[in-house]
């Protein structure tokens, strides 16, 4: 009886004392050679900036939230941050020339890095943090995104005006490149994997690729010099940062039309949506800050000062933790006592028998 009661208490705690840690936003400060960490619960920078390589330009976070991979444009390498300690772990990982973008597979086993000048993609094995493959793509790749099932990586080639598709099982380019607008930069894929949205810098529009046929299904006019695309977890909205018109275009993905334009900031160049889809974080390169936008109202609700030249933004997933309260610690202690008493009673019965 004692053991059953103790077990019941412990099981009840497991199912009732789970809490969800609020995510953190990691911002690559290009001109400060470091990364700022923002607590999205308070919209305040926490701790000191994390030193990384030279001219950090992009950040990607593993699906379990334990590591942040930072592409350093000028030092031609990738820094790995332990998000538990916010310290760089291990030596930087050498990649191609001028790494511009990084994306991580849904299973967290590999990071794909688009190298602008060497016209290729470096594949990092995240278990050993070494490059295990190099894939030639088009000219001047600036963006990379991986489908939710992890089977394909889409790479935007800015000087080829097209998108390469990589089979992640073989790490080979499959099919012909997909022609898009002029100077494609960032690329983002909807959560259902059905469409890829490509920001075309010099044609001031976004190409929508049907990932089943790998053809352009729509072209959407946005602001001036769109550079970054972020899609909500629901897949209903795509946010496009336009660096010259200093605004954010909001696309309804059901109709592929712009339904709102958000102003504010100076040279918005990086964007990421929180895991719950309620907020958009936009890095403003020239004003050294990050805007927080409420995605329900499309209004700016906070402005967070970071370091110089914030460029890339990535947000950790919401992680479930079991953190007992004071009363729960009391229940845990009671369960332990009941277990000990139960064990002693059983031993006594064995002796007397």
Residue 28 pLDDT greater than 60, yes or no: yes
Structure token pair of residue 217:
């299904």
d(CA 186, CA 146): 12
**330 and 307 belong to one structural domain:** no
Dihedral sign from CA coordinates of 118, 227, 155, 80: positive
d(CA 152, CA 195): 12
d(CA 12, CA 16): 6
pLDDT in tens, 106-144: 999 999 999 999 999 999 999 999 999 999 999 999 999
**292 and 328 belong to one structural domain:** no
**93 and 74 belong to one structural domain:** yes
Q: What is the mean pLDDT of residues 263-279?
A: 95
Lowest mean pLDDT among 77-86, 145-154, 263-272: 263-272
pLDDT of amino acid 265: 81
Asked if 137 and 130 count as a contact pair (C-beta separation under 8 A), the reply is no
**353 and 249 belong to one structural domain:** no
**307 and 329 belong to one structural domain:** no
Lowest mean pLDDT among 104-113, 184-193, 215-224, 337-346: 337-346
Residue 335 pLDDT greater than 80, yes or no: no
Q: Kindly report the CATH number assigned to the domain that includes residue 100.
A: 2.130.10.10
Distances (CA, A) of 307 to 27, 28, 41, 49: 9, 9, 20, 8
Q: Which helix (H) or strand (E) holds 13?
A: helix 2-16
Residue 9 pLDDT greater than 70, yes or no: no
* 222 contacts: CB under 8 Å, gap ≥ 6: 199, 204, 205, 206, 240, 242, 249, 251, 258
**243 and 348 belong to one structural domain:** no
Q: What are the percentages of helix, strand and coil residues in the chain, rounded to 5?
A: 10, 50, 40
Identify which of 204, 196, 68, 69 has the alpha carbon closest to the alpha carbon of residue 131.
69
Percentage with pLDDT > 90 across the chain: 83
Q: What is the mean pLDDT of residues 86-111?
A: 98
**332 and 255 belong to one structural domain:** no
Domain containing residue 343: 1-17+324-353
Residue 350 pLDDT greater than 80, yes or no: no
**39 and 81 belong to one structural domain:** yes
Confidence at 264, pLDDT banded by 50, 70, 90: confident
Residue 323 pLDDT greater than 50, yes or no: no
Q: What is the mean pLDDT of residues 215-220?
A: 98
- Written as one string, the DSSP assignment of 83-118 is TTTTEE-SS-EE-SSSEEEEEE-TTSSEEEEEETTT
Identify the three-state secondary structure at position 338.
helix
pLDDT of amino acid 4: 52
Question: Facing residues of 113 across strands?
Answer: 102, 122
pLDDT of amino acid 349: 55
Residue 10 pLDDT greater than 60, yes or no: no
Identify which of 83, 73, 77, 79 has the alpha carbon closest to the alpha carbon of residue 37.
83
Q: Please, is 190 exposed, middle or buried when counting C-beta atoms within 10 Å of its C-beta (0-12, 13-18, 19+)?
A: buried
As for how many domains the chain has, the answer is: 2
Distances (CA, A) of 207 to 26, 217, 218, 271: 27, 8, 6, 18
**74 and 193 belong to one structural domain:** yes
**228 and 81 belong to one structural domain:** yes
**264 and 329 belong to one structural domain:** no
**207 and 307 belong to one structural domain:** yes
pLDDT of amino acid 329: 43
């Amino acid at each position: 009886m004692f053991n059953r009661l103790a077990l019941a208490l412990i099981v009840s705690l497991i199912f009732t004392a789970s809490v969800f840690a609020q995510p953190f936003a990691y911002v690559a400060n290009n001109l400060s050679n470091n990364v700022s960490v923002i607590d999205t619960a308070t919209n305040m920078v926490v701790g000191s900036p994390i030193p990384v390589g030279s001219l950090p330009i992009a950040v990607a976070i593993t699906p379990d939230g334990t590591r942040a991979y930072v592409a350093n444009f000028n030092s031609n390498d990738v820094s790995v941050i332990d998000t538990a300690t916010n310290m760089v772990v291990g030596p930087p990982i050498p990649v191609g020339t001028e790494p511009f973008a990084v994306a991580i597979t849904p299973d967290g086993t590999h990071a794909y890095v688009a190298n602008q000048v060497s016209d290729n993609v470096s594949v990092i094995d995240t278990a050993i943090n070494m490059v295990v493959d190099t894939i030639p793509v088009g000219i001047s790749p600036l963006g990379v995104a991986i489908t939710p099932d992890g089977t394909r990586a889409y790479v935007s080639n800015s000087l080829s005006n097209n998108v390469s598709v990589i089979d992640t099982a073989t790490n080979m380019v499959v099919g012909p490149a997909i022609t898009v607008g002029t100077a494609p930069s960032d690329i983002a894929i909807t959560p259902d994997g059905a469409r890829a949205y490509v920001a075309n810098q010099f044609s001031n529009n976004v190409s929508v690729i049907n990932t089943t046929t790998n053809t352009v299904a729509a072209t959407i006019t946005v602001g001036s010099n769109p550079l970054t695309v972020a899609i909500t977890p629901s897949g209903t909205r795509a946010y496009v940062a336009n660096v010259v018109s200093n605004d954010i275009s909001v696309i309804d993905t059901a109709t592929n039309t712009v339904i709102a334009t958000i102003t504010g900031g100076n040279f918005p160049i990086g964007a990421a949506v929180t895991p719950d889809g309620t907020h958009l974080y936009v890095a403003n390169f020239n004003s050294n800050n990050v805007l927080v936008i409420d995605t329900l109202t499309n209004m700016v609700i906070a402005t967070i000062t970071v370091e110089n030249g914030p460029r890339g933004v990535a947000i950790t997933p919401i992680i479930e933790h079991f953190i007992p309260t004071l009363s729960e610690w009391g229940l845990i202690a009671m369960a332990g006592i009941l277990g000990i008493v139960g064990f002693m009673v059983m031993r006594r019965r064995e002796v007397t028998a």
